[in-house]
């Protein structure tokens, strides 16, 4: 009788240890998935977009400076250079103000689902 009781205790202990091992494995997998989907992927996406944005901004700035110098020299053929610089500076401030107004006047609206949409999503 003592042997069967000992076997039962070992089996219960081994089942408990296996359960704990599976719970640990489950928690590790969930943690890894959380880190992968909600931490690393967004930062990887943002890093790629940031590189593209920096290259794009550099190209746009270089092109704008060359175009601006050309416009200033073109206007300087008609009026003195100081007047061409003033006219070009005024135009730049005007365009920058219009762009800033359009950029910052629009409110950001997130497209989040309503409660009814979330409830109906589970029924289909």
Give the 3-state secondary structure of residue 123: coil
Report long-range pairs for 64-71 (Cβ below 8 Å, ≥24 apart). 68/92
What's the number of domains the chain is made of?
Answer: 1
| Least confidently predicted of 31-45, 78-92, 107-121 | 107-121
User: Six-digit token pair at 64?
Assistant: 């704008």
Is the pLDDT confidence value at 123 over 70?
A: no
Q: What is the pLDDT of residues 65-84, one digit of tens each?
A: 888 899 888 888 998 988 88
Range of the domain at 80: 2-121
pTM of the model: 0.44
């Amino acid at each position: 009788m003592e042997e069967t009781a000992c076997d039962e205790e070992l089996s219960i202990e081994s089942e408990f240890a296996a359960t704990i091992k599976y719970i640990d494995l489950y928690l590790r997998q969930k943690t890894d998935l959380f880190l992968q989907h909600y931490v690393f992927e967004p930062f990887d996406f943002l890093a790629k977009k940031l590189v593209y944005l920096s290259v794009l901004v550099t190209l746009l700035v270089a092109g704008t400076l060359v175009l601006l110098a050309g416009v200033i020299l073109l206007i300087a053929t008609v009026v003195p250079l100081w007047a061409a610089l003033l006219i070009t500076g005024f135009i730049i401030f005007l365009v920058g103000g219009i762009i800033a107004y359009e950029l910052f006047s629009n409110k950001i609206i997130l497209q989040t689902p309503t409660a009814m949409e979330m409830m109906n999503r589970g029924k289909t």
